[in-house]
Amino acid sequence: MEKEEILRRVKEVVSDVLNVSNEEITEEAEFVSDLGAESIQSLELVAAFEEEFDIEMDEEAALQVQNVGDAVGFIAKYLED
């Protein structure tokens, strides 16, 4: 899957879970400080990414991901396997 496609789908999930507009979501945007994610929403994001991409992520590692661009890279690694 192309990185642009992963980014598009990540942005959709982030927009839905955090209730922010797509325009606010950049690759540099940090989930907590820029997009306002609270700890429970971080868990919801992990679950939503797993569902969107039909993957199972290491939850502890996934929760270390700080921004949108890192999430795209993290998910891309799972999709390569």
For the stretch 71-80, pLDDT in tens is 999 999 999 9
Reported pTM: 0.94
**Domain positions in the chain:** 3-80
What pLDDT, on the 0 to 100 scale, is given for residue 31?
97
Q: Name residues of the chain where pLDDT drops below 70.
A: none
3-state SS track over 10-46: HHHHHHHHHCCCHHHCCCCCECCCCCCCCHHHHHHHH
CATH 1.10.1200.10 correct for 3-80: yes
pLDDT of residue 74: 97
- Give me the pLDDT at residue 75, please: 97
